[in-house]
Structure 1
């Protein structure tokens, strides 16, 4: 069965909009795990606009105590800041089970593209090796139509994460066929190179079953924005359980 990792960034956005500690990111993560989520994901940015370094360490401790996966996302090339030690240093402190590398710039509102292996491949190689030396499984964020996805294996990665934003847009527009075909083809290329396949970005209860029905052997989905949106109306427990039911039905 495909596993669910819940991204709790949006909980931190709400907390930071007011200051203080409410809502509590760790409490929200605990509620997701209590409801059956298989892991927790966060993507701290250098400007600390949502998840902060102290959140990362607290969530890492929670996941260790629960024996579940902690997935830490970030740009490995972003320089350290006053409240951000850099991605590798944060991984060295938190020791996530999985480090997902994402090529997002500071000005991006959210992640919106994968790595360009022609440009970034050699830069990634030592970074991937250093993270694996920490005991992290390494996944690289890739576009769903990336013909060079197999190069992720050549730089030492264990997995890739398919950027599913374009699929979600096409699904909402009522014409997901081409986007699903691109995701499936890229997944097969990655798997043929020995890579595991994860997926994430704008997946939701509405589109998840269609995605999993078309894309083979997805190991893990990371879902945050849609899940928190849906949980505003149904509650975290019911929403996470609804996702688990979709994953179970997909087999």
Structure 2
């Protein structure tokens, strides 16, 4: 029997990816919640001595770190239900947009939530980044006729992006703006609703209100002035 353990934080969009992937693959796992500031567990520090952060997948005693690398590892380690596309170009495209999400999209949200003087810039960039992702979804879903970034199947890129859905409420509340999903990003709007109906996603994603309350508490604790 494989022994699989996940070290993560419930509110982390990167951390959410790992249990969603394991749920989709039908892999049984143990989950360990990490208190990251400042009480990182000895196991986390041992298993990710380089970055000392979540998520970490421990498979039969061997650690795999960084969420997108973990997703690709899980896809290769367990054959059931391929998450990355078979076609090399489609596979590269999925990896490109996942990298875009981790760099460009995440950065715009980070500025909204955690900066004091770059909130407006973050909001502007987030709306632009959502437009890019709307276009990517249109291309990868045959103009919206297929349900997911992975085409007819919920896959790698869908898992990479859907955890951000419970952060949209955080961005809007802290940034004091409204993301116009219905008018400007209708494909993404329908995609989010579709993904939220999946058992794997419902099991892992926290409610937007719970996530917002937690982040507001962190801001009050760590943002001074």
Structures share fold, TM-score greater than 0.5? no
Superposition TM-score tier, normalisation by shorter sequence: 0.3 to 0.5
The TM-score, its normalising length taken from structure 1, stands at 0.31
Q: Name the structure with the higher strand share.
A: 1
Q: Name the structure with the higher helix share.
A: 2
